[in-house]
Structure 1
Amino acid sequence: MNITRLTRTYRSARRLQQIINVFLRYGFGQIIDQVHLGRYIPFKKRLKSFGIWPTLKGPSVPERLRMAFAELGPTFIKLAQILSSRPDLITTQFADEFKKLQDEVPPFSAVEAKRIIQEDIKLPVDRIFRYFDDVPIAAASIAQVHRAELIDGSQVVAKIQRPNIRDQIESDINILTTIARLLDKYVPESRFFNPIGIVEEFSKTVRKEMDFVEEARNCCRFRKNFEHNLDVYIPKIYAEFVTERVIVMEMVEGVRIDNITAIEEMGLDRKEIAKIGVDAYFKQILEDGFFHADPHPGNILVMPTGMIAFLDFGIVGRVSDELKETMADTFLALIHRDFDRLIDQYIELGIVPEHVDIDAFRKDFKADLRDLLEPLYGLTLQEINFAQYLDTITHLAIKHNLKIPSDLLLINKAMLILENIGLQLDPDFDFIAAAEPYATRIIRKRISPTRLYDRARKNILEIGDFAFLFPRQIKQLIKKVLKDDIQVKMFHVNLPEFIKDMDRSSNRIAFAMIVSAMIVSSAIMHATGVRPTIFGISILGLSAFVLAFLLGIWLIISIIRSGRL
């Protein structure tokens, strides 16, 4: 049903055919057969392979998948980039390979960019800008950026979405959703990677990134959070020139935060820049609960005044008050080497599955944490390999079947990027110690009288609700027991699919037996000379043989196309 709905339009059908052909070229034919998409493989290729797809020699599976994604364009490149920060979902081998994919796409024409601006803002370009640079200063898979000057003389940049990119991505998301469901249904081993969850998270992220109105709101929120901060600058948004496909913001002059030579030439203190950057992130995560989730060096500039400026607010993360408190407890447990408390925080985060034996988990996980963390204490940032540390933490999560929340992984990704920047700016910077003041502030706030009163009041209300509802629910349960009205619903996993496969197999066997019977009866009629005859051959026997032959060819073709040869 999903495939039929998906291929109703010519464009979707052509795109699905293209995706299948690319995956075939990179050696994923067997998976295409497994998910019942074999009918979309050209008949010549299927007849040539006869259902047996060779495994390509040379590149590994992650390398081949990365090359296939690169060839399939912006949607798949963006998917790989997002997945590169989720090694808990796809394993570190795939994540490391996907990190190699970059937005290396040619820019679209300035004429097209101006047309989109005029369509969305409803004004001629020359009534918006005094000057508009036709050569973009950056081009990515979703949008490109042009330097410009407003009529009032303000220096700005205009970010314009690629033409038709929204339709293309929506079409690809529909195809990816269908493929994910087929993988979950027909390839049980793929459930370890949770393909449906991956596509859902990707679609949510990329749709937000394509909505420039949402990005403008994010920028304004950051600007408000840092309005009294003299070390961090957030560019101004020109709200009258913001649409879903266009955003105009203040031009910020500065150099990339990883351009050490330029920073030194401006006479700025590298250690101070490192401190400002890390402090800004701990403020975002542990105080504001709203952080920039894509802090690669191109999105953080160092201004000549010594301030740092953040750019590109399409991807952000949010941290609830409960998560902030748990993270603060985690930081303090790390600092004080309290492994029991650290494990309590993991349980509090809800990343430990309910079916896990908590006592056994606590014992095993504590031993692993001790082996991992003990050597790190007392080391400087230069001596700690945070990439290896986060990689090890991820392996521990996979080993113990932990489910890490996506916001925590966004935080890990941000910290990993900051670690790379910090190594260049100030190798002696103590990363963990910098978090202690923020964590301590959160703990103090949690035990303040006001907060204790609010929590006590909330707990009392919940107890009251429970005391009111519990007798009524028990009464309803007893009534159902007395009436024998208790129903137990049972569902056998994959039983409907198994029944369908059995029906299909039995139908084919019956069909083959009918064909065989027709051939045998044809031979008998020919041997006994059943009339009428032509050239000594029974016409009825010949007719039965031809019909059986055609039906046999039809059966063989249907088996080959089904991919169940």
Structure 2
Amino acid sequence: MSNTPDKIRRYYKFIRFMLKYWNSDLFRKTSSVALNDNIEEDSDHDFDQSPEELVEDLKAMGPTYIKLGQLLSTRPDLLPDAYLNALANLQDNVSPVPFEEVKKIVEEELGTRISKAFQWFDEKPMASASIGQVHRAELHSGRPVAVKVQRPGIRKQFLEDLETLDEMTQMAVKHLETAKTYAIDEVFAELRRILVNELDYKKEAQNLKTLKNNLQNFEHLIVPAPVDDYSASRILTMDFVSGKKITSLSPLRQLENDFSELVEELVEAYLQQIINDGFAHADPHPGNIKFTQDNKIALIDLGMIARFTPHLQENLIELLLAISQSNGEKTAKTLLKMSEQTEDSSPREFAKTVSSVIMESENSRAKDLQTGRILIQLNRLALKTHIKLPVEINILGKILLNLDQIVAMLDPEFDLRNAIQRNVHEIMRKKMLTELKPENFFSALIESKHFLERMPERMNTISENLANNDFKLKIDAIDEKRVTDGFQKVANRITLGLIIAAMIIGASMLMQIPSDFTIFGYPGLAMLFFLLAAAGAIILSYVIIFRDENLNNKN
């Protein structure tokens, strides 16, 4: 993908960054929290690197690492507040691209002059992010729009950085047990998929259409519609939504307004996306949420979305209800049902710890930021006990963690768990009604028809096999060869043990017979039998204790 000098420079840049932060106390604190270790809280602690230094280092690393910093800024469970606030500035405090370059990209993508496509185009960007920047504009029809333009050369740079990260990740998983345990190669694969999708604005335009259609019944939620004729792979034109970041909501406005109904609608909308639509806005951090003057919420930046299969949605319904009811046993049971387990897995330990975590978080409110954090914590517990949960669980945790932050800003005393219980039941009712659509009914009818058509033939085959005594049941419950080998090993050990015992008894009997041939003053033949028996016993004991498969790893 790139020549050797460029690759060496990228490796050098990455290794230099890691060496700087690997042994820092900031990294140790982050790792301890991530692994759920017990550490002392010290809000006044001065870390080796300041928040501003971390931000500048990420900027120097380039846009890919800026994007990683943005993801970190939405994780209050990992970093101190000062670092979260500093990283949040990465979301809209990146140096803008000169307008001449923006103009060139717009005209290349649209195939016409910018003055012909737009009646007015603001040269100064509204916001400048790591992948692109947004300009206000107006179509010749008078329609106000926001135009997102991708940074020049960003795709090539992203792919090269991702190639470096991929190689480093594979190396870490190969040589470091911790990296393997926490499956950082799979985490990176998911990150790569997300970032590559964000580079294609055509996909984001389609995401906007889908989400707008799915949320059309929520009157206080706004999703800007894309303008297809003015959008392409590196440019996205959509309706302009006037508003401020939800983080800039003033305390006075919070006191003057009751946002409980708005919060209820927002929670219902996200639950519908997750457990009914199977298509969710996966990055609802405060920077992607606008609060309008008429107290509406606009969901923008649909570069990152999550998809949930129908089977997974059913499990997520059970999981969310179990968590909202503080039912630790049911939560653990649902997670285990969704998981992949190996010989090293410890489901009992996992279930016990899950129950404790769920019980400790009972009666929490929005200001406690518990719901999403719990899911992320449960995912880490699963990794620690060698249980592999679907990656969607971590995505859901991230969605709910960001949602917790927004809800806490609008209504700190809001009970998110009760809201989940109320809305899940209603959404389930709507989902069942949706599944009773005629097309679903006819699909089931066709399947039933095929089943009934084949039934007589199958019944005739079964009855014929029974009559001819040819009916067989094949049960693949055990490894027959392994069991046979095991019995053979046991038989060999018993036989060898009997031979050794016979040699010892024979040696004892020969001790009573005088002989000119002696060893250590005892009859020589008897001593030979005894020494051979002793050697055989020692070898057999060694094999049984140290060599038998799984004996030392039975726990």
Q: TM-score, normalised by structure 2?
A: 0.67
Matched with 1:181 is: 170
Deviation at 1:338, TM superposition (A): 4.0
Matched with 1:422 is: 407
Matched with 2:7 is: 16
Pick one of 349, 354, 361 that aligns with 2:347.
361
Matched with 1:404 is: 389
Q: Distance in 1 between matches of 2:183 and 2:277?
A: 31
SS at match of 1:258: helix
Q: Cα deviations across residues 331-358 of structure 1 (Å, max 9, x unaligned)?
A: 22234444443222112212x414356x
User: CA RMSD, aligned part only?
Assistant: 4.3
SS at match of 2:294: coil
1:124 aligns with 2:109: no
Deviation at 1:99, TM superposition (A): 9.0
Q: Is the 8 A contact 1:142 1:162 kept in 2?
A: yes
Q: Distance in 2 between matches of 1:335 and 1:183?
A: 38
Q: Is the 8 A contact 2:181 2:386 kept in 1?
A: no
1:67-78 correspondence to structure 2 within 5 Å:
69-78=58-67
Q: Is the 8 A contact 2:315 2:334 kept in 1?
A: yes
Q: Distance in 2 between matches of 1:313 and 1:406?
A: 20
Deviation at 1:18, TM superposition (A): 1.9
Aligned residues between the structures:
433
Q: Distance in 2 between matches of 1:346 and 1:100?
A: 35
Q: Is the 8 A contact 1:255 1:263 kept in 2?
A: no
CA gap of 1:251–1:444, structure 2 versus 1, over 3 A, is closer
Pick one of 307, 318, 331 that aligns with 1:342.
331
Which ranges in structure 1 are unaligned for 5 or more consecutive residues? 1-5, 30-54, 482-565
Pick one of 206, 216, 220 that aligns with 2:195.
206
1:268-417 correspondence to structure 2 within 5 Å:
268-350=257-339, 352-355=340-343, 361-362=347-348, 364-382=349-367, 385-386=370-371, 389-390=374-375, 392-417=377-402
Q: Is the 8 A contact 1:325 1:443 kept in 2?
A: no
Q: In terms of Rg, which structure is larger? A: 2
The percentage of aligned residue pairs carrying the same residue is: 26
Q: Is the 8 A contact 2:372 2:400 kept in 1?
A: no
Deviation at 1:94, TM superposition (A): 12
Further displaced range: 412-421 or 381-390? 381-390
CA gap of 1:253–1:279, structure 2 versus 1, over 3 A, is same
Q: Cα deviations across residues 265-324 of structure 1 (Å, max 9, x unaligned)?
A: 996532233222222212211222111111122222222333321111100111121122
Q: Is the 8 A contact 2:372 2:397 kept in 1?
A: no
Which ranges in structure 2 are unaligned for 5 or more consecutive residues? 31-47, 462-469, 481-555
Q: Is the 8 A contact 1:353 1:402 kept in 2?
A: yes
CA gap of 1:95–1:397, structure 2 versus 1, over 3 A, is farther
Q: Is the 8 A contact 1:263 1:302 kept in 2?
A: no
Q: Distance in 1 between matches of 2:180 and 2:13?
A: 23
CA gap of 1:223–1:330, structure 2 versus 1, over 3 A, is same
1:153 aligns with 2:142: yes
Give the letter for the 1:353 counterpart. Q
Deviation at 1:384, TM superposition (A): 6.3
Q: Cα deviations across residues 495-541 of structure 1 (Å, max 9, x unaligned)?
A: xxxxxxxxxxxxxxxxxxxxxxxxxxxxxxxxxxxxxxxxxxxxxxx
Matched with 1:439 is: 424
Give the letter for the 1:14 counterpart. P
1:507-518 correspondence to structure 2 within 5 Å:
none
CA gap of 1:110–1:189, structure 2 versus 1, over 3 A, is same
Q: Distance in 2 between matches of 1:147 and 1:474?
A: 71
CA gap of 1:131–1:263, structure 2 versus 1, over 3 A, is farther
Q: Is the 8 A contact 2:132 2:151 kept in 1?
A: yes
Q: Distance in 1 between matches of 2:241 and 2:431?
A: 38
Q: Cα deviations across residues 353-382 of structure 1 (Å, max 9, x unaligned)?
A: 14356xx624x3333233222243344334
1:94-243 correspondence to structure 2 within 5 Å:
101=87, 102-103=90-91, 104-187=93-176, 190-243=179-232
CA gap of 1:202–1:401, structure 2 versus 1, over 3 A, is same
Q: Distance in 2 between matches of 1:181 and 1:96?
A: 32
CA gap of 1:455–1:339, structure 2 versus 1, over 3 A, is farther
1:468-479 correspondence to structure 2 within 5 Å:
none
Deviation at 1:218, TM superposition (A): 0.2
Q: Cα deviations across residues 8-62 of structure 1 (Å, max 9, x unaligned)?
A: x5xx323322233334545649xxxxxxxxxxxxxxxxxxxxxxxxx97776477
Deviation at 1:70, TM superposition (A): 4.4
CA gap of 1:184–1:414, structure 2 versus 1, over 3 A, is closer
Q: Is the 8 A contact 2:120 2:138 kept in 1?
A: yes
Give the letter for the 2:320 counterpart. F
Deviation at 1:431, TM superposition (A): 0.2
Deviation at 1:398, TM superposition (A): 3.1
Q: Is the 8 A contact 1:332 1:439 kept in 2?
A: yes
Q: Is the 8 A contact 1:85 1:410 kept in 2?
A: no
Give the letter for the 1:194 counterpart. A
CA gap of 1:77–1:402, structure 2 versus 1, over 3 A, is farther
Further displaced range: 438-447 or 163-172? 438-447
Q: Distance in 2 between matches of 1:407 and 1:96?
A: 29
Deviation at 1:221, TM superposition (A): 0.5
CA gap of 1:265–1:110, structure 2 versus 1, over 3 A, is farther
Q: Is the 8 A contact 1:381 1:423 kept in 2?
A: yes
Q: Is the 8 A contact 2:364 2:370 kept in 1?
A: no
Matched with 1:536 is: none
